[in-house]
């Protein structure tokens, strides 16, 4: 398996584009994106666990009941959530997209991201779709990635090439997400594409299994959004025998999928609102997987720890504190904690108690852009990883006037 260029257009038969159609006031920012497979594809999706859900999720869920889709249309700048006519607007987005592409409206995945509770007019979308569709190309992945951004500061895309049943396949994706991100999905939109042949049932199984270890282990600020969605289209143009059951081919597909989703998780965490550092909590030696995941999530979600990481303060007591209130059954007297970055590794806690360490060296390690928080529970073989970022002054600045 190797990393390749192209994002959602890396796989055969996919084109994409992104434009500014007028939803956002800033004309320099794209606000409408389109991803298209040249043939109908197996499709799967997972959605936010928030009881308040954006209208596009309701429409998409209905469209994917048969496990088939051919296009993704997404706008930014407006979430189309808590609007009286939200369902109708989402359906019109599907219908307009289908008309522009000559496909069925039921084969369109529709998504929106932005401010909640703000009326969304269909007019700019209707006006922009002809240009959007006309500009579709195999080089349009970056434009599509830009069109789904809100408070993101960088475009997020990745793709890999791998072998399945003797055939060369590709799987790529784009993502948006910077704030309102918390385990069990977040303010994230992730669109994945592959030319591998896999049944809708196995595609859904692969996606649901993957997010439990990736996107559901990602937290920026503890808020779970109303519009989260991760979708994947598999058009089968690589020519491999269709994956219809677990086995070597399914395992190879899962490995490729996981490599892409982990890369996107890291990109989202590193671009958290106001963030200056990517945090990665690696828990090892847990009695079971649930304990490992619970501890990793609790540590990465700690506002006090996130603030300490911003200040490059090796306040390891905040790690122990987060473990203690996580709800996991942990023998604290066995816990070791270290901090690691490209500048080195330093042990700060052993057997649940502090050890002598150089504050100067610790600060040098924590001044790096990527920091690992290593937690060894010394109680078993299970392990888990969670991703997040530091908590800075700018997070409050960004969210203090996000709507106005």
pLDDT, tens digit (0-9, with 9 covering 90-100), for 61-119: 999 999 999 999 999 999 999 999 999 999 999 999 999 999 999 999 999 998 889 99
Specify whether 148 is located in the same domain as 181.
yes
Same domain, 142 and 236: yes
pLDDT at position 175: 94
Report the domain count for the chain. 2
- pTM here is 0.88
Instruction: Give the three-state DSSP class for 225.
Output: coil
Q: What pLDDT, on a 0 to 100 scale, did the predictor assign at position 231?
A: 96
Pair 60, 149 in one domain: yes
Residue 181 has pLDDT above 70, yes or no: no
Residues 6+ apart with CB under 8 A from 363: 312, 313, 314
Percent of the chain with pLDDT over 70: 96
How far apart (Å, rounded) are the C-alpha atoms in residues 101 and 133? 7
Largest CA distance in the chain: 68
Rg (CA), the chain: 22
Q: Are residues 295 and 203 in the same domain?
A: no
Residue 187 has pLDDT above 60, yes or no: no
Q: For residue 229, is pLDDT > 70?
A: yes
- Position 106 scores a pLDDT of 98
Task: Give me the mean pLDDT over the 23-40 stretch.
Answer: 95
How far is Cα 142 from Cα 133, in angstroms, rounded to an integer?
15
Residue 6 belongs to domain spanning: 2-270
List the catalytic residue out of 15, 48, 150, 187: 187
In this structure, what CATH number is given to the domain that contains residue 192?
3.60.70.12
d(C-alpha 261, C-alpha 173), whole Å: 8
Verify that 200 and 282 share a domain, yes or no.
no
Let me know whether 222 and 354 are in one domain.
no
> In whole angstroms, how far apart are CA 6 and each of 13, 140, 142, 308?
12, 8, 8, 37
CATH number for 377? 3.10.20.340
Q: How much is the pLDDT for 219?
A: 80
187 is catalytic: yes
**Enclosing H/E stretch for 148:** none
- Note the pLDDT tens digit of each residue in 318-341: 999 999 999 999 999 999 999 999
Q: Which residue has the tokens 């595609």?
A: 203
Compute the mean pLDDT over every residue in the chain, rounded to the nearest whole number: 93
Q: Indicate whether 180 and 323 sit together in one domain.
A: no
CA separation for the pair 68, 40 (Å, rounded): 7
- How many Cβ atoms are within 10 Å of 123's Cβ, its own excluded? 11
What is the average pLDDT across 222-240?
87
Pair type for strands 336-341 and 353-354: unpaired
List the single range of 30-39, 104-113, 266-275, 284-293 with lowest mean pLDDT: 266-275
Assess whether 319 and 186 both reside in one domain: no
């Amino acid at each position: 398996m190797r990393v390749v260029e192209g994002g959602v257009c890396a796989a055969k038969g996919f084109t994409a584009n992104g434009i500014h159609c007028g939803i956002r006031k800033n004309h320099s920012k794209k606000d409408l994106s389109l991803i298209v497979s040249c043939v109908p594809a197996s499709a799967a999706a997972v959605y936010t666990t928030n009881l308040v859900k954006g209208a596009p999720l309701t429409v998409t869920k209905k469209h994917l009941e048969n496990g088939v889709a051919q296009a993704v249309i997404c706008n930014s700048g407006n979430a189309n959530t808590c609007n009286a006519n939200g369902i109708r607007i989402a359906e019109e987005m599907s219908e307009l997209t289908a008309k522009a592409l000559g496909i069925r409206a039921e084969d369109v995945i529709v998504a929106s991201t932005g401010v909640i509770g703000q009326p969304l007019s269909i007019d700019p979308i209707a006006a922009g779709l002809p240009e959007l569709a006309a500009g579709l190309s195999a080089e349009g992945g970056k434009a599509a990635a830009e069109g789904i951004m809100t408070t993101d500061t960088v475009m997020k895309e990745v793709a890999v090439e791998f072998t399945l049943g003797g055939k060369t396949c590709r799987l790529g994706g784009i993502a948006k997400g910077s704030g309102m991100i918390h385990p069990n999905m977040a303010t994230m939109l992730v669109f994945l594409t592959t030319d591998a042949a896999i049944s809708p049932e196995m595609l859904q199984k692969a996606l649901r299994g993957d997010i439990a270890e990736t996107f559901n282990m990602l937290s920026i600020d503890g808020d779970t959004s109303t519009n989260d969605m991760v979708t994947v289209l598999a058009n089968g143009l690589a020519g491999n025998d269709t994956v219809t059951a677990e086995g070597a081919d399914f395992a190879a597909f899962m490995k490729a999928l996981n490599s892409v989703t982990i890369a996107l998780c890291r990109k989202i965490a590193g671009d958290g609102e106001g963030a200056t550092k990517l945090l990665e909590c690696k828990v090892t030696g847990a009695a079971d997987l649930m304990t490992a995941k619970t501890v990793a999530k609790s540590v990465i979600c700690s506002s006090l720890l996130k603030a300490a990481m911003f200040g490059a303060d090796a306040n390891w007591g905040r790690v122990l504190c987060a473990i203690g209130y996580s709800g996991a059954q942990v023998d604290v007297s066995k816990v070791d904690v270290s901090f690691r970055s490209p500048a080195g590794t330093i042990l700060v806690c052993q057997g649940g108690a502090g050890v002598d360490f150089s504050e100067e060296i610790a600060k040098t390690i924590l001044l790096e852009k990527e920091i690992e928080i290593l937690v060894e529970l010394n109680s078993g073989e299970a392990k888990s990883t969670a991703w997040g970022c530091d908590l800075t002054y700018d997070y409050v600045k960004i969210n203090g006037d996000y709507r106005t």
